[in-house]
Amino acid sequence: MTASTIEYREAGSVATIRLQRPEVHNALDAQTLGALVEVAEDAAQNPAVAAIVLTGGPRAFTSGIDLKELARLDAAGLRSQAEALQKLATVLRYAPKPTIAAVSGLAYGGGLETAVNCDARIATPAARFACPEVRVGLTITNGSSMLLRRLIGDGWTRELTLFGAVLDAETAQRIGLVTRVVEPDDLEAEAQKMAQYAASCSQDAVRRTKELLNADPRGWRDMLTAETEAVVAGFGSAELQTSLRAFAERRTEGGA
């Protein structure tokens, strides 16, 4: 599967995956998400690739699932979308090579959750991070119920997921969600520098180190299943359906 909304390139031993739906803040519709999973899997399995960079554009890394498309789905369709996002998270987390999220603009919902499944997150001052799922009747997924608490602690995780916190880049760096904040013109170069360092190391040692870091006390797949069931359970709620209809109407009128 290919999509015009995904750009993939390899330079040396570094693969760069770029989302290109700027008109909708790089929202993930089914076609884009399917293509993203495919290219991420290919890069993860390609022995010529030693590191992967995932990025978007100046205004958005990705705003997560395309809510306009979601408004047209039934519960089975929602489950399929959630499972595709879970697959992407698993590919990024368990790739036998480092993965780097280079974030500018919005990283909301599934966008933030995708970023936390990468080994490193770097950002520009314009980056903004949020998990607004509960506002529209959804719940967090992609392993973020565990990973966010590991990265930023229980308190900030609850601020993000329950109380609508929107983190700027400075705050995100201070609490450990991102490790580097660089100017917009330096974002790609910094990500490539990190990737090239990893590529210069023993690939076997890198793989084994990731395996050690990814050893989870709670079963990863059990957690993903629980998160999927939680999001699907809320699909029939009046709040979610009302929110999705309102979002679709705004998008039709020209909103993003």
pLDDT digits (tens, 9 = 90+) for 135-153: 988 889 888 999 999 999 9
Does residue 194 belong to any structural domain of this protein? no
CATH number for the domain including 113? 3.90.226.10
Does residue 208 belong to any structural domain of this protein? yes
Domain of residue 224, residue span: 6-184+200-252
pLDDT at 220: 66
* Residues of the chain scoring pLDDT < 50: 1, 253-256
Q: What is the DSSP letter of 184?
A: G
Number of domains in the chain: 1
Does residue 98 belong to any structural domain of this protein? yes
Does residue 136 belong to any structural domain of this protein? yes
pTM of the model: 0.85
- What would the two tokens of residue 62 be? 């990705």
Does residue 231 belong to any structural domain of this protein? yes
Does residue 86 belong to any structural domain of this protein? yes
pLDDT at 239: 66
Active site residue ranges: 113, 133
Does residue 88 belong to any structural domain of this protein? yes
Asked whether the beta carbons of 177 and 167 are under 8 A apart, the reply is: yes
Residue 105: partners with Cβ closer than 8 Å, 6 or more residues away: 25, 56, 57, 58, 59, 60, 61, 124, 126, 127, 128
Does residue 190 belong to any structural domain of this protein? no
Instruction: Residue count of the chain, please give it.
Output: 256
3-class DSSP assignment, residue 208? helix
pLDDT at 256: 38
